[in-house]
Structure 1
Amino acid sequence: MTGFLDTPGGAGGGPDPGVESFWQAVTGWGLSARRGGGAFATLLPGDGDACLRVQVVGDSPARAHLDLHVDDVAAAAAEVAALGATLVAAEDGLVVSRSPAGIVFCLVRWGGERRRPAPVRWPGGQSSVVDQLCLDLPGAVHDREAGFWAAVTGWERRSSDLPEFSWLERPAGLGLRLLLQRTGGEVAGVHVDLACDDVDAEVERHVGWGAVVVRRVPGDWTTLRDPAGREYCVTGRSPLPA
């Protein structure tokens, strides 16, 4: 599974260098050569397989989506359709679908990724790593959508000590896990989470690179906005592999 940071184009419709530099700085990961006519690039961890990419999109707002990497794209597309997904677009090696709650996701060929990125230790002493995609699910669609993603992935759903959260147990070595959050909003979406062992120090580092704090839940997580206005979270979960 890969997370995508979808950002409206900068001057001339190309990538926004400030936003991409921000994500390189806060992850500590490099940026690959661009592809797809310049629309796509991959954030490259120093140790482990890539699980986060950037994409230039033609519309606002800045947002995130996920790709599922599969052995057989056509067969997987038929399976997710049977589970309630709606086809958006298809081409060789790529199918774009929409979940029952409206979350856009892609099916692409698996490239053999199997090594979780290692956390980066920062000068402040804390370590962090991007390791989670959170599906923000309005209460009216939460139960059906949670069942959909559990069926699509085949991953077991686990309960949290906070009633609004559950997660899907990722296989060993997978860079990202899926968190399911019951929200009070009306539109389903996706955001990126980082795990770290010192939330306050990590948030201070992100703010130094241009993030803005939206809300703090002391001892658990802080929600921020990146320079493009996209929300993401820094959480107090351990950045080390479980």
Structure 2
Amino acid sequence: MTGATTNDEVPGGAAVRWVWLFLDTPVADAERSWAFWSEVTGQEVVDRRGERDEFATLAPPQGDPWLKLQAVGSGRGGVHLDLDVEDVHLAAARAEALGATRVGAIGDTVVVLRSPGGFVHCLTTWDGRAGRRGQPRDGLTSILDQCCLDVPRSRWEAENTYWQRLTGWAWRASDEPGYASVSAGAAMPVRILLQTLGEEDGEVRGHVDLACADRATDTARHVAAGAVVLEERSFWTVLLDPVGRVHCLTDRPPSPAR
């Protein structure tokens, strides 16, 4: 893929109505992680649910939420995406035709998949409400709005094609080689950035990025809340949150003309 592509035609029942960006954290670290992300995003932890209160939502001051929290029983945690659609079975069949692998399902409302490069994501049944209010950005100084997929070189073409065709969103290559984005524009608060890794092969991994009006100020704020700076780059800063999850602060404007 080169340059930019416009939206693909996606069958109505498989069209993405809303996207949820999940922060997955081992149970032992969940409360500490949730408190940190609530503080640095300015969003309240609400709607605790599940048999062991293992799920929660981060609620913004206005507009629809798009960030969710999950305490996981094993592994190191990480991030994943839930894509709300009207017909999960139609959307899942389409995803498999595009190269995804089905991992499992939860009843008739959730299908768990791996992308061609191995990134876990879910197709979930849209409740008809999420996305109705949108997500106003006026006045924001920072916003957690991006899932960055770290893609080995051998997976690059397949992973870019998959996400562009699955979502039907516009795909655009960056001016800097090895970066591309998939975005629905202002209609959706979450965008997907793909970046190549130094390695040739392996599984696609993910982390979250924040858009910042003043990166230095936000870096200081994250550090005060318990984060550790790993690396400073010309356009972004790499940090670890208090439980060891990588995230980046970028110079992208939080209220862009999208």
Q: TM-score, normalised by structure 1?
A: 0.91
Checking the alignment, whether the CA contact within 8 Å between 1:28 and 1:120 is kept in structure 2 is no
Find the residue that maps to 1:23 and give its secondary structure: helix
Deviations 1:173-194 (A, max 9, x none): 2110111111114331111111
Distance 1:119 1:42, change over 3 A: farther
Cα distance in 1 for partners of 2:23, 2:211 equals: 17
Find the residue that maps to 1:204 and give its secondary structure: helix
Cα distance in 1 for partners of 2:165, 2:247 equals: 26
Checking the alignment, whether the CA contact within 8 Å between 1:45 and 1:117 is kept in structure 2 is no
The residue that corresponds to 1:159 in the other structure is: 173
In the TM superposition, what is the alpha-carbon distance from 1:117 to its structure 2 partner? 4.9
Q: 1:118 aligns with which of 129, 137, 148?
A: 137
Is residue 103 from structure 1 mapped to residue 119 from structure 2 by the alignment?
yes
Which shifted more, 158-167 or 168-177? 168-177
The residue that corresponds to 1:64 in the other structure is: 79
Checking the alignment, whether the CA contact within 8 Å between 2:54 and 2:70 is kept in structure 1 is yes
State the identity %: 44
- Structure 1: gaps (5+ residues): 122-126
Cα distance in 2 for partners of 1:188, 1:117 equals: 31
The residue that corresponds to 2:154 in the other structure is: 140
Checking the alignment, whether the CA contact within 8 Å between 2:139 and 2:255 is kept in structure 1 is no
The residue that corresponds to 2:27 in the other structure is: 9
Which shifted more, 98-107 or 30-39? 30-39
Cα distance in 1 for partners of 2:136, 2:70 equals: 20
Cα distance in 1 for partners of 2:90, 2:82 equals: 15
Is residue 40 from structure 1 mapped to residue 59 from structure 2 by the alignment?
no
Cα distance in 1 for partners of 2:149, 2:30 equals: 25
State the AA in 2 paired with 1:198.
Answer: D
Between the two proteins, the alignment pairs up a number of residues equal to 232
Cα distance in 1 for partners of 2:130, 2:212 equals: 23
Checking the alignment, whether the CA contact within 8 Å between 2:119 and 2:203 is kept in structure 1 is no
In the TM superposition, what is the alpha-carbon distance from 1:92 to its structure 2 partner? 2.2
Q: Map 1:1-242 onto structure 2 (within 5 A).
A: 1-10=19-28, 16-37=30-51, 38-90=53-105, 91-111=107-127, 112-114=129-131, 115-118=134-137, 127-185=141-199, 186-218=202-234, 220-242=235-257
- Structure 2: gaps (5+ residues): 1-18
Q: What is the root-mean-square deviation in Å for CA atoms of aligned residues?
A: 1.4
Deviations 1:72-124 (A, max 9, x none): 11111111011111111112200001111110000001233331253675xxx
